[in-house]
Amino acid sequence: MSEDYVGQLTDRQKGFLPDHLGLEWLEARPGYVKGRFEVKTHHLAPNTFLHAASVIALADSACGYGCIISRPDGALNFTTIELKSNFLGTTREGGVSVEASLVHGGRTTQVWDAVVTAEATGKTIALFRCTQMILYPK
C-alpha cells in the first residue's frame, strides 16, 4: 500500500461489513488508525442503545486496518486470534470515534489497543484489545 492509506482502506471495505456500517477513516499510518461512524438506527440494539457489535466492528476494523498497513516485510495478510472489549458507556445519537494504536508489532503477532468514544461528550464507550496473527506465504 502507498501512503494514501485512508483512501485505500476506504476502497478496500466497499461492499463489506465496514462499508454497510458507514465506517469512515480519518487518519491511517503504520501503527495508528483513527475512524468514526455517525449513529443510525442500524447501529442500535432493540433496546435503543448502541449495539455492542457496532462498537466492536468499529474498533476491530480500525485495528485490522492498522495491522494491514503495519505488517512486516513478506507478510501477506493477518487474522484475528483474540479480542476483548470492556464497555463503559453508550450513546444513542451523534458520532462514535475510535483511535487504534499498535502495542506490539512482532513478526508473527501484533497486539492493538483501541479507545472508542462518543464524539458529543468525549466519554469513553469502550476499551478494546486484539491480537492478530501475521500470515506469510507457504
Give mean pLDDT in consecutive 10-residue pieces for the chain, a chain of 138 residues: 83 96 97 98 95 98 97 96 97 97 98 98 98 97
- The single-letter DSSP state of residue 74 is T
Question: pTM for this structure?
Answer: 0.95
Domains of the chain, residue spans? 5-135
Q: What share of the chain is helix, strand, coil (3-state, %, to 5)?
A: 25, 45, 35
3-state secondary structure at position 45:
coil
Return the pLDDT at 3. 75
Yes or no: say if 31 and 105 are a contact pair by the CB < 8 Å rule. yes
Q: Among 100, 39, 95, which Cα is nearest to 66's?
A: 100
Quote the CA–CA distance of 111 and 123 in Å, as a whole number: 24
Cα–Cα distance measured from residue 109 to residue 5, given in angstroms and rounded to the nearest whole number: 21
Q: Which CATH architecture has domain 5-135?
A: Roll (3.10)
Determine the pLDDT at residue 19: 97
